[in-house]
Structure 1
């Protein structure tokens, strides 16, 4: 358990940078084109030269908001559960995505005992993590994104426990980020030890909602 925690501590800033996002920047630009259909009604292409005045106006408004966000230096807060849990199908999934990597299931440790002390870890950017227990109780964790806060809140960050190979040179874990209550991205992550340092080797997207 101590070894796993030490690896997680080392790799944690990279995981935050790779998985977490400022959800305010996730809104896609409004359409700036009109679809073109053939005589049978089937879609052929999109003609960007036929954007309407309304579309152009909405795009300009979106761009101004995006420019404003790029200049915003506010700290972006993210909820995180420090009690990392075992993902029961992690090894099975890792074989599918990383067939050449042999991962072995380690002895279970009660979730209530595996509390990861993330608060002392220095992150690489302006994200700041808060324990999920510091947020209001809701019926489902991702629903806390529906509430209003007096700080910039981006979403809920999850990590699973790490499973390693026998030599403890490779490891896999699951990570996800839920934002806006209905949207999220889910990953299975392969980490490895390179020159005595743990790094992310592959970040495999497994789901989007």
Structure 2
């Protein structure tokens, strides 16, 4: 009987420790998310507004042409964003109020070669509720929150009305390496049934601060 009680006690202790660790990990993720959010949403907006690049003129290498055009556009849109901040004129965005869960461990390891990632490194299933006050504290953007993907006339309104990026911005949870030096998350722009694109956003810790290391094209549909 004592052995049974001991085993039950041991199992309960393991479960409790596991739950406490998950809660700590979730709290850590929240702190990093809100810390990096201003730079994150800046990068998403600048990249999203320049997604489309017209075909290259005859005789010009398409890849080089696209790269040059996007670099020029980035400079222009970064300047526009800086001017909007200075004038305190926020940029309007439609924002999904839940975070998606994606397994980006492979992309994380490919980008950060020294990242230590175990096989069981997966994002937990604990509920990460966004704190709108913390998001809204960054006044460079005015977010129109939606809790579902709109269809029909609502979809047309969000795509064509008055938002600088047609579609809805959907961010994901952050996936970290085991040592919590690096992280990756995604930002998707959902603009219709067969209209959507997204980015992989890599973050890292530099001098005790989390920064955006790189944002790259992830998918398009």
Shared fold, TM over 0.5: yes
Change over 3 Å in CA distance of 1:9–1:183 after alignment to 2: same
**CA root-mean-square deviation:** 3.9
Match of 2:131 in 1: 117
Q: Which stretch has the larger CA shift, 93-102 or 178-187?
A: 178-187
TM-score between both structures, scaled by the size of structure 1: 0.61
Mapped to 1, the partners of 2:52 and 2:109 lie a distance apart of: 34
Match of 2:67 in 1: none
Q: Which has the higher strand share?
A: 1
Change over 3 Å in CA distance of 1:146–1:26 after alignment to 2: farther
Mapped to 1, the partners of 2:214 and 2:53 lie a distance apart of: 26
Residue 2 (str. 1) matches residue 12 (str. 2) = no
Mapped to 2, the partners of 1:119 and 1:150 lie a distance apart of: 27
Match of 1:186 in 2: 198
Mapped to 1, the partners of 2:198 and 2:92 lie a distance apart of: 19
Match of 1:18 in 2: 43
Contact 1:9 1:118 in 2 (8 A): no
Residue 168 (str. 1) matches residue 180 (str. 2) = yes
- Provide the aligned length of Structure 1 versus Structure 2: 169
Tell me the secondary structure at the aligned position of residue 20 of structure 1: helix
Mapped to 1, the partners of 2:55 and 2:214 lie a distance apart of: 32
Match of 2:214 in 1: 202
Q: Which has the higher helix share?
A: 2
Residues 76-120 of structure 1 deviation map (CA, whole Å, 9 limit, x = unaligned): 3212223212203x112323344332335245224xx21111443
Q: What pairs up with 1:124-163 in 2 under 5 angstroms? A: 125=140, 127-133=141-147, 137-138=150-151, 144-147=154-157, 152-153=162-163, 154=165, 155-163=167-175
Unpaired runs of at least 5, structure 1: 36-43, 46-69
Mapped to 2, the partners of 1:86 and 1:16 lie a distance apart of: 18
TM-score between both structures, scaled by the size of structure 2: 0.59
